[in-house]
Structure 1
Amino acid sequence: MARNSDMFNKLTDYLLFLIVSLLPFKEAARTSVLSKRWRHVWRATKNIDFNERFFVRVGEPNEIQETQRLFFIHFVLQWMENYQEPLVENFQLTFTKPGLFRVDMDRCIAFAITRNVKFLAIDFSDPTWGEDDLDDHVALFDLPLIVYGNAALESLKLFSCSFRMSEFVNFGALKDVSLGWLELRMSAIEAILLNCPLLESLSLKKCWNIEHLDIKAPNLQLRNLVIDKCKFAQDWYGIEAPNLRFFKYSGALGFFAVEISREFMEEADLGFGLEFEFDESAGDILYQLLENLYPIRILTVCSYVLQVIPCGEEPFKMDFPLNLTHLTLKAALHEHEFFGICFFLRSSPCLETLTIQIGPGRVFADYAPPFPLMPDNFWEQQFPPFNSFPFECFNTLTVVEVKGFRGTRYELPFLRYLIRSGHVLEHLHITVSKEGEENGGNVEAYHERAQVLQTFQKASPNLQISIY
């Protein structure tokens, strides 16, 4: 340790400043205790994150939160006053009550802009707002005019902070735009796409009052597109993005018209947690969406997809094999998901990694299986619709990851089937649920149930089972 300390002492101040700028702001602050020389090094960082949530604890009485918030403001103002560097690379400001401290918020943002910040993130959303609630939250702050004059901005994040659509003509260098918790019109999205020719990443989170989605622009460079729980007047989503590599959608089901280049598309994450009713006709919509996203190699699907997609006109598998090497199932491993799991396993002959994130999911009471369902021995039977058991992917599947294992009714039978059928399976990683006694869980019991997996007959002599 002393030897390492001596090596650090030989570094110039400039190199130390570079080191702390590579650290998260909170970690950079912790370096101040290393030695007398390090006490003020972190104050030269170019990676600044003023986050109220490091100071204000959710759940505390309002009086205590107000005191904590004032302390945070005092810390921020004092820190900026002592900052001597001419440039800032990354500036993040997270604050819950911007309207009560408007002048201070303006000072913070001006501090970053006058130092030619490249990555600006402003988050005025309230941590108590629910991710899955249906409330519309009006933006709590307006983006100051000074920001529009910074033509060097490469990344901009605005949460609960409205902006002037017409001023985006100045942001020609933007590569990354993230908007959340605000009212948004399709015309604003169009302005961003047209005025930001270098745009590579666009993320919309909990935005509302959008007429529909129409992602297209001349020479669009967009590579990453995230639509997260936004509210659209019309459930129609058009995407013409020839360079798109990653697409994540979370929200209500709608009609997707996706045009991409099969040369670039790599990954999709599809979640429909805002659907509250089972609809057999949705199976064909999901099938068409998967066709449009071909040839993705990495796919994540939710419980809704698993329950609905086998109810379409093609209940067994895709007409053509999917190109997947990594499939993630966000599932409850409930009996209603079984046919959907079979659909994807049978459609993915080149699958190498299967990840199962076990969670509560939304199980539909009016679910109608496409075939008679006998859940207790489902994974042992050889019934006609799926008489190709074991699936072709068991000749390529080498890794299975299970997160949130509790050993419930259908978890062990499914994993036993994988263990007995995976001819080349090398790793089975089990992470038990950390849900403690206070939430009705029993972590020790979960570990005991997971140990049963070690007793199952293995198809692969190289299989190693790890339990965490």
Structure 2
Amino acid sequence: MKMKRICKKPKHGQLNPADRLSALPDEIVYRIVSFLGFKEACRTSILSKRWKYISDTNPVMELSNEVFSAEPGREDAYIKIDSFLKYVETRMKRYSKQKLHIKKLTLGFPIQRMRFRNTKVALEDKAEQWVKIAVCNQVEELVLIGPKNYEMSDTLLTAKSLRCLDCSYLEIYDYKGLELFPFLESLFFDEVYVDDPMLNRIISSCPLLKHFSLTRCSCRMESVKSIVIPCNSKLETLNLSKSLSKDEGTVTIDTSSLTSFQYIGDLRSWDVHGGRWPVISKDGFLRNLRILKIGFVSICDEVLGKLLSELTLLETLKLCNCSMLKTIRISSALLKEVRLEYCADLLDVSVDAPCLETFKYKGDFKPSMCINSQAGCDISFHIPPSSFRAENFSKMKELLKGLRNCHVFKILLLDEPAEPDKDGIFDINLGEEKLADAHLGPPCDIRELKLTLSSWIFCKSYLSVLLDGVFWTCHPRIFSLRANLRAPNRMIEALVSRLNEMANCWKHPLKRVEVEGANCSDLLKTKKLDLQLRLHW
């Protein structure tokens, strides 16, 4: 005799636990699904019948699939791509028929031109059809990747609901008599084919545009020659990367609304001196700038000095591959972050910033550095071992003296020297005699020291002098040593042995050496492992 299952009914005012997902309001459910990717959002349809409806009417759609990366010559690739296109077609028609609101739509197509055996329809026609549906359904954010040589239509250019547009591998021609992007706030172009007049017309025709990015864009195989930011522009973020003509390009800024500006020269035409600094602006027009990033540009000391003197509100400065710079002098009350990377001729760096929190330097450790900061600051040096010498410790020591409190001091020695010695080991010439002549004096107290080493420099003599120099430079409360242990076991033994010696040496008052996660015997049997040692004072 079968017994009936007795289900307790929920009390009055209580929800059945099994139906709580179905009881959520549409706004909350759409909010949850918006944080998921395309595949994850589709999987939520199994939760309940109502969630199946939510998945099919989600205002955030990501119709970009890996099937386009399949090899077109294979029969299964054609079937897979054709199935995906039919799925997208069905879903877009549903949105069009039911007039469902589209908040964000991502359409990803293959970059190359191709036609598929079963559909017999060019991807350009599909893109145009789906874009029109999105515009009719009041799309707010559109990410359109390809197809290559797809010409942007006037339907998209005049969309009044559009707030953010991110395009790649498209073509834009001159559309006279049209009101372009009347309510657009963010515009991102990557490898878009557009000429100067049309580009400047788009910038000047968008009264609400706040964020604009131009990356690797050109017209008729020529880079953009002229960009003008008009005086009535409300632009806050401007990102120009690898698009402006090296010799003739100019950026004219006639607005004071910019808070972030990044300019990266064209790496394809970049030589040892880089491209020239193309920015033309009147005095005071960049006074509200808070973030400035410059890369692969031949900007001299005088031009940079004049520019920095105008930026009284600057908080972040990054200079990368600016090979003409020899001296950098910064004095700012609000500056919080400075990054200097691979400025080959740099000889002198002086930073007077009471609020400085982060200072990062990459490249040969040639320049003398002076940093004055009253805040807790993190210092980072990424130096090729071949350029690291005993005199570098004295430079680091002087730098630490200018800080009231150093939270984290990082030294990264990762690049490999040119040639190994006869035993196949890269031994750097860092002699103990040179270290003794450096006159480092008493070490500075810092909170934490992080030292990262390449496996190529795990020779005993170099490691011993390096550790001595580091601890004569500073006394950290925490010392972290990270190394990719591809070196022979004898080098790992030398590392652990030297650290144990330092723990018992009067010059380095270490109490003990701790290996996190494993003991030394297990480490010696491992060929490749990230090792962390924390030494306690």
Same fold (TM over 0.5): yes
Indicate if the aligned counterparts of 1:119 and 1:155 stay in contact, CA closer than 8 A.
yes
Structure 2 partner of 1:133: none
Asked if residue 203 in structure 1 is aligned to residue 203 in structure 2, the reply is no
Change (3 A) 1:217 1:346: closer
Within-5 A mapping of 1:363-374: none
**Could you tell me how far apart the structure 1 residues matched to 2:53 and 2:466 are?**
53
Indicate if the aligned counterparts of 2:409 and 2:450 stay in contact, CA closer than 8 A.
yes
Structure 1 partner of 2:511: none
Change (3 A) 1:188 1:37: same
Structure 2 partner of 1:55: 67
| More deviation, 98-107/173-182 | 98-107
Change (3 A) 1:290 1:169: same
- Picking from 243, 247, 264, the partner of 2:257 is 243
Change (3 A) 1:354 1:309: same
Indicate if the aligned counterparts of 1:402 and 1:431 stay in contact, CA closer than 8 A.
yes
Change (3 A) 1:15 1:206: same
* 1:322-344 C-alpha deviation (Å, 9 max, x unpaired): 8531123445xxxx74x63x744
Shift of 1:14: 4.5
- Picking from 242, 245, 249, the partner of 1:229 is 242
Change (3 A) 1:293 1:104: same
Change (3 A) 1:261 1:454: farther
- Picking from 100, 110, 130, the partner of 1:108 is 130
Asked if residue 179 in structure 1 is aligned to residue 189 in structure 2, the reply is yes
Asked if residue 17 in structure 1 is aligned to residue 27 in structure 2, the reply is no
Change (3 A) 1:140 1:167: farther
- Picking from 222, 226, 240, the partner of 1:213 is 226
Asked if residue 328 in structure 1 is aligned to residue 377 in structure 2, the reply is no
**Could you tell me how far apart the structure 2 residues matched to 1:269 and 1:185 are?**
25
Indicate if the aligned counterparts of 1:186 and 1:214 stay in contact, CA closer than 8 A.
yes
Shift of 1:188: 1.9
Shift of 1:178: 1.5
* 1:158-182 C-alpha deviation (Å, 9 max, x unpaired): 3222234436524221111112213
- Picking from 151, 163, 179, the partner of 2:160 is 151
- Picking from 312, 315, 340, the partner of 1:297 is 315
| More deviation, 61-70/159-168 | 61-70
| More deviation, 281-290/108-117 | 281-290
Shift of 1:72: 2.8
**Could you tell me how far apart the structure 2 residues matched to 1:31 and 1:15 are?**
14
**Could you tell me how far apart the structure 2 residues matched to 1:98 and 1:387 are?**
55
**Could you tell me how far apart the structure 1 residues matched to 2:402 and 2:396 are?**
15
What are structure 1's unaligned runs of at least 5 residues? 126-138, 364-368, 434-441
Shift of 1:62: 4.4
Shift of 1:318: 1.6
**Could you tell me how far apart the structure 2 residues matched to 1:370 and 1:140 are?**
48
**Could you tell me how far apart the structure 1 residues matched to 2:34 and 2:130 are?**
19
Indicate if the aligned counterparts of 1:18 and 1:45 stay in contact, CA closer than 8 A.
no
Shift of 1:210: 4.8
Shift of 1:212: 2.7
**Could you tell me how far apart the structure 2 residues matched to 1:352 and 1:158 are?**
36
Structure 2 partner of 1:351: 356
Structure with higher RCO (Cα < 8 A, 6+ apart): 1
SS state of the match for residue 77, structure 1? helix
Indicate if the aligned counterparts of 1:346 and 1:392 stay in contact, CA closer than 8 A.
no
Shift of 1:283: 5.0
| More deviation, 152-161/233-242 | 233-242
SS state of the match for residue 395, structure 1? strand
**Could you tell me how far apart the structure 1 residues matched to 2:43 and 2:444 are?**
49
Asked if residue 31 in structure 1 is aligned to residue 44 in structure 2, the reply is yes
Structure 2 partner of 1:169: 179
Q: Quick one: percent identity of the two aligned structures?
A: 19
Within-5 A mapping of 1:58-457: 60=71, 62-63=73-74, 66-83=78-95, 84=98, 86-96=100-110, 97=112, 100-124=122-146, 140-163=149-172, 164-166=174-176, 169-208=179-218, 209-210=222-223, 212-232=225-245, 234-252=248-266, 253-255=275-277, 256-259=279-282, 261=285, 264-272=288-296, 282-291=300-309, 293=311, 295-302=313-320, 304-305=321-322, 307-310=323-326, 315=327, 317-318=328-329, 320=331, 323-331=334-342, 337=344, 340=346, 343-344=348-349, 346=351, 350-355=355-360, 375-377=387-389, 379-380=391-392, 389-390=398-399, 394-395=403-404, 397-399=406-408, 406=414, 408=416, 425-426=446-447, 456-457=470-471
Structure whose residues are more often helix by fraction: 1
Change (3 A) 1:346 1:170: closer
CA RMSD between the two structures: 4.6
**Could you tell me how far apart the structure 2 residues matched to 1:432 and 1:215 are?**
47
Figure out how many residues of one structure are paired with residues of the other and give that number: 402
Shift of 1:46: 1.1
**Could you tell me how far apart the structure 1 residues matched to 2:25 and 2:198 are?**
47
Indicate if the aligned counterparts of 1:91 and 1:117 stay in contact, CA closer than 8 A.
yes
Asked if residue 43 in structure 1 is aligned to residue 49 in structure 2, the reply is no
**Could you tell me how far apart the structure 2 residues matched to 1:264 and 1:123 are?**
34
